[in-house]
């Protein structure tokens, strides 16, 4: 993840001052299809199972599982309706929301990611025009033919309490809707004597749309 963001920030240096027509075409099309493909925006009624792991990073760079929880979640008309805990965690986990942002509708500076392979996935970087810890920057990959999201990487600039904060989504298509099937969130918090690095990994399965 650290290497990815080093590459990402480097790629932003190649962002163009004036958006080219091809790049604008892809960002506009991705923006146009977003709402119709998003089950939250569309108000789809669905359920899913999620297994979450809370991991910390050791001094040698390896990770250690500290806690985990498995839940059954239900969404109704754009809101989480209920959560049934299947396996109890040691500590409380934050409720997992499947909402994901439409970065193509925001005021970002977009650029093609270097070394495009020409495959089915097209990578587009997005950078903020202003420095703010509340505005994420990152990388989105879309389906080159149908323009819906395949992966989304977000990185938030440092603030007083959090030195680093990144979030990544991987998506899959079910009945025409785009659902996250994996979400990773990594943060680092400054302590009195050291900095704590941790990651919450969420795997989403058994997605069922109610008809």
Minimum mean pLDDT among 4-13, 52-61, 122-131: which range?
Answer: 4-13
Quote the pTM value. Answer: 0.84
Quote the CA–CA distance of 153 and 127 in Å, as a whole number: 12
Q: Cα dist. 60→19, 24, 63, 65 in Å?
A: 43, 43, 9, 15
111: left (phi over 0), alpha (psi -120 to 50) or beta: beta
Q: Would you say residue 39 has pLDDT above 70?
A: yes
What confidence tier does 17 reach under pLDDT thresholds 50, 70, 90? very low
The larger pLDDT score, comparing residue 112 to residue 197, is at: 112
Q: If you average pLDDT over each of 84-88, 117-121, 189-193, which comes out highest? A: 84-88
């Amino acid at each position: 993840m650290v290497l990815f963001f080093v590459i990402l920030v480097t790629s932003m240096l190649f962002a163009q001052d004036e958006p080219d027509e091809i790049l604008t075409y892809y960002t506009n099309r991705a923006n146009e299809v977003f709402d119709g493909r998003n089950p939250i925006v569309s108000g789809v009624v669905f359920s899913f199972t999620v297994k979450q792991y809370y991991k910390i990073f050791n001094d040698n760079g390896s990770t250690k599982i500290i806690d985990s929880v498995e839940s059954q979640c239900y969404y109704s008309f754009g809101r989480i309706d209920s959560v049934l805990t299947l396996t109890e965690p040691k500590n409380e986990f934050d409720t997992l929301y499947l909402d994901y942002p439409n970065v193509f509708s925001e005021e970002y500076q977009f650029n093609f990611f270097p070394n495009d392979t020409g495959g089915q996935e097209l990578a587009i970087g997005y950078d903020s025009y202003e420095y703010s810890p509340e505005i994420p920057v990152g990388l989105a990959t879309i389906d080159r033919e149908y323009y819906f999201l395949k992966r989304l990487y977000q990185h938030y600039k440092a603030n007083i309490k959090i030195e680093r904060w990144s979030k990544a989504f991987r998506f899959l298509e079910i009945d025409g809707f785009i659902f996250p099937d994996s979400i990773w969130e990594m943060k680092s918090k400054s302590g009195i004597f050291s900095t704590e690095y941790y990651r919450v990994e969420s795997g989403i399965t058994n997605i069922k749309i109610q008809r």
